[in-house]
Amino acid sequence: MLSVAVKTLRARKGAFAGTFLALACASCLVTASGVLVESGLRASVEPYRYAGAEAVLGGDPAVEFDGRHRTTGAVLSEPVGLPQETVQEVAGLTGVRTAVGDHRLTLDVVSPDGGGEVTPVSGHGWDTAPLGPFTLVDGEAPGATGEVVVDAPLAETLQVAVGDRVELVEDGGTRSYEVSGVAGHGDGARAREQVLFLHPDEAARLSPAPDSFQAVGVVAAEGADTDRLAAELAATVPDAVVYEDGTVDRVEFIDVGEGRSLLLLVALSFGGLALLIALFVATTTLALVTDRRLREFAVLRAIGATPRQVARLVCVEALLLSLVAGVSGSVPGVLVAEALRSYFAHLGAVPADLPSTLGPLPFLVAVLLVVVTAVVGTLGVAASAARTSPVEALRETRAPGPVELPGWRRGLGLLCLVLGVSAAMTPLGMRTEAGAAGTGGAVLVLVLGIALLGPALTGPILGAAGRLLRRLPVSGFLAAAATAADPRRFATLLTPLVLAVGFTLTMVTTQSVLGAAAERQVDEGLGADAVLRATGSSGVPPQVVARVSALPETGAESVLRETSVIVRADLFGDSEPMELRAQGVSAGTAGTLLDPGVVAGDLSDLRPGTVALESSSADLAGVGIGDELEVVLGDGTPATVRLVAEYERGLGFGQALFPEQDLEAHSGPPRRLLVGAAEEYGRQRLEEALASVVADQPGLEAESVGDLAADGRSESRVAAWINFAGLGVILAYVAIGVLNSLVVATAGRSREFALLRLIGTERRVVVRTVLLETAVLVAAAVLLGTLVALVPLSVLSVAFLGSPFPPWPEGLYAAVVGATALVCAVAVLAPTTVMLGQHPAQTVGVDE
């Protein structure tokens, strides 16, 4: 049987080329996401400041509930520190030469050329220098709190040398330090950030949490067993995570950790989607190729092949083909992964120097998944091949297969439609970005339903199209007859097209609905007349707040602290940690400067120990007004707060509002200051007054109210662009698949075209006929695709914009329709032209 399968594959190279291509591209996509997953898990950059440390301890960013339920599903948004005593505990261990606690400070150095520009630097106590190790190349260590050491790259950026002074932005002003020395890296490691060393006391003074360390670095004694050391460290400080060789970058560089988890997240969702769609496309082409071979199967049955043998032949063919396709497709997958990674780096979502990691696993998984996909996709086809009656071989002409759908397919198809519609309702119960993600899933399930119902759904469409076509001259009549003759082929070709149209519309429109909603919410809810925004890393200092507050033009002011908190939510019957975007505001001003649209409770009750939640998030957390709620703050501190208000403008202002004092010790400095004008002065006077404050204070700028709305969503916009990149790759794949199956389907009609030519049909009539058929196909795809997208999008629009008509992307819609039509026309015309060039008598004579 194997040799027969090999011979069939060899002899039918042309027919199988399409399937091969579809499977190879699927392998390419899966490999690409596999490489991204592996990079997300394992990629690392060379450490710089901790290059000389054998191990580094850091706080555990995983969330703990009830002290037992540890989960990786939610990760704390703020850096988690270690208590100061850790250093002593660790230093006592045998095998430890030095243990140093590091306050990782984000500082801004005022550029010497003035103009309020600041250079962000990473600030540390000079006692951490052995972790590099950093050694002085010039001058000496900081001997007093007023002295600093800069590393060589920073010295170059700032153009400073020993004896010069640098200005650090600090507490509403600047403070001047003398450069006592310039340090070089002992191992000559490549700098990833610019480092400034302070006197250890000064570092502790500047730290927002002076009694804890962000990391504790350990340098091992000469000849110590580092594996044993790591185990001992983990046993000594059970609350900490021990980072060793190859993982140190995760605790050293925050952006590396963020980039890695983003890669992982994107790759998993992209990979899952790619796999599902690959199954669609590969099954389509396999079905088309097999459909053409029914006669061959009938002959096999007539000369004594059992149904089992026929099914096995088909499966062995698929196995061989997918094996070769899987291997050859996986190699270019690396290039796709690399292209996506560098695009993400270009967006700033992933550090540019974070490399892709290449291991054998993604390739093995891709080949395996493609083989499984092909074999699973073939099983249905094999079953129908096996059922082929030998009578088919005895017949002279083969009628297209029956359209009768088996009951299970009808049932499953309807179930998918029902599931899809209910998934589309998610945003009604979850008015957050996470809820909006339900629309994408809904479309996939709806398309799956359409694929299953296939011919039953397309029947009415074909009927209507047929009536229309028959009014046209001969080519219309021929086209109507040809499409009606094989509704199964029509349905098979239709599915990937519906998927492409529906999915593109949904992904893009979901983003514009969310964008419009966020903008509207901020627009309606922001009562502030002016906004100050921190450009550097030190935020809006309290001194600035006090200064603004003292201005006669200021009526009310409130800082805006952004962080995220984690609550327990009831999702699908499971108690799951749910991350909420949270803002801290000055308690008294919440209703006026920032009106989140209260629907229950009273925002004036917002005082320390209370919280206001977006209403659907409150429902998911299972709390009502007056109830107590357990939250885990950004740095892992648990807190119990009382719910005092529920509001509706969650996209614009986050899902939780806290009095800012409650967040102060558990999040970074406030990034914004909202200011309302005093009645007698007005907005103009206020803006002028604020301009003078900004001029005195480096690292601050005035921001328009519109910018605030845009910025509130900038993070999700980056996420959207990342999704679009994935979508683009997948659409390219669907296009290849569609092109493929249309070519395969059209090439299978050589005999039909030759017959038409023989009885005197002109070439251009044949061309016009296939073009009309393609037009019906495209129209049906656009119709169903739009319908499939419209259902979840309307729900989304009702949930977020209050109207069932989502903002329709006319330009994109035209582009989608145009591209679909173009791809289909090319795919149909190319083989038709080739076939029309052959001599019809010869083509008819050849037994297919």
Partner 1 sequence: MLMGPSGSGKSTFLHCASGVDRPTSGEIWLGGVPLSGMGENDLTRLRRERVGFVFQAYNLLPTLDVQDNVTLPLRLAGAPLDRAWADRILERVGIADRLGHRPAELSGGQQQRVAIARALIGRPDLILADEPTGALDSDTGGRVLGLLRDSVDDLDQTVLMVTHDPVAASYADTALFLADGRIVDSLDGPTAPTVAERMSRLGRR
Which residues form the interface with partner 1 (CB under 8 A)? 1, 4, 7-8, 10-12, 295-296, 299-309, 389-391, 393-394, 396, 846-848
| Residue type (1 letter), 590 | A
Contact 178, 145 (CB under 8 A): no
Work out how close the CB of 515 gets to partner 1 at its nearest, in angstroms, rounded to a whole number: 56
Cβ proximity to partner 1: between 324 and 600 the closer is: 324
Distance from C-alpha of 539 to C-alpha of 545, rounded to nearest angstrom? 11
Contact 794, 804 (CB under 8 A): yes
Q: H-helix or E-strand containing 732?
A: helix 714-747
Work out how close the CB of 303 gets to partner 1 at its nearest, in angstroms, rounded to a whole number: 5
Work out how close the CB of 482 gets to partner 1 at its nearest, in angstroms, rounded to a whole number: 23
Residue 29 to residues 35, 266, 330, 481, Cα–Cα distance (Å): 10, 13, 8, 38
Cβ proximity to partner 1: between 642 and 751 the closer is: 751
* Maximum Cα interatomic distance, the chain, rounded to a whole number of Å: 102
Cβ proximity to partner 1: between 7 and 470 the closer is: 7
Cβ proximity to partner 1: between 46 and 848 the closer is: 848
The Cβ-side half-sphere exposure at 167, using a 13 Å CA radius, reads 16
Cβ proximity to partner 1: between 205 and 387 the closer is: 387
Structure tokens at 314: 């088909």
Distance from C-alpha of 848 to C-alpha of 845, rounded to nearest angstrom? 9
Work out how close the CB of 386 gets to partner 1 at its nearest, in angstroms, rounded to a whole number: 10
Cβ proximity to partner 1: between 71 and 389 the closer is: 389
Structure tokens at 489: 């082929």
Contact 197, 567 (CB under 8 A): no
| Residue type (1 letter), 618 | A
Work out how close the CB of 455 gets to partner 1 at its nearest, in angstroms, rounded to a whole number: 26
Phi, psi at residue 370, to the nearest 5°?
A: -65, -40
Contact 200, 126 (CB under 8 A): yes
The residue count for the chain: 848
User: If you compute the radius of gyration of the chain from its CA atoms, what whole number of angstroms results?
Assistant: 33
Work out how close the CB of 751 gets to partner 1 at its nearest, in angstroms, rounded to a whole number: 13
Distance from C-alpha of 599 to C-alpha of 422, rounded to nearest angstrom? 26
If 0-12 CB within 10 Å is exposed, 13-18 middle and 19+ buried, where does residue 123 land? buried
Cβ proximity to partner 1: between 8 and 554 the closer is: 8
Work out how close the CB of 22 gets to partner 1 at its nearest, in angstroms, rounded to a whole number: 21
Cβ proximity to partner 1: between 715 and 848 the closer is: 848
Residues facing 75 on adjacent strands: 62
The Cβ-side half-sphere exposure at 195, using a 13 Å CA radius, reads 30
Work out how close the CB of 338 gets to partner 1 at its nearest, in angstroms, rounded to a whole number: 40
Work out how close the CB of 321 gets to partner 1 at its nearest, in angstroms, rounded to a whole number: 14
Work out how close the CB of 323 gets to partner 1 at its nearest, in angstroms, rounded to a whole number: 19
Cβ proximity to partner 1: between 70 and 308 the closer is: 308
Work out how close the CB of 8 gets to partner 1 at its nearest, in angstroms, rounded to a whole number: 5
Structure tokens at 509: 């429109």
Task: Return the closest-CA partner of residue 496 out of 781, 87, 296.
Answer: 781
Say which DSSP state 594 is in. B
Distance from C-alpha of 690 to C-alpha of 684, rounded to nearest angstrom? 10
- What is the DSSP secondary-structure string of 602-668? -GGG--TTEEEEEHHHHHHHT--TT-EEEEE-TTS-EEEEEEEEEES-HHHH-SEEEEHHHHHTTS-
Work out how close the CB of 835 gets to partner 1 at its nearest, in angstroms, rounded to a whole number: 17
Cβ proximity to partner 1: between 185 and 301 the closer is: 301
Residue 214 to residues 61, 106, 254, Cα–Cα distance (Å): 12, 12, 11
Contact 800, 513 (CB under 8 A): yes
Cβ proximity to partner 1: between 296 and 662 the closer is: 296
Cβ proximity to partner 1: between 299 and 379 the closer is: 299
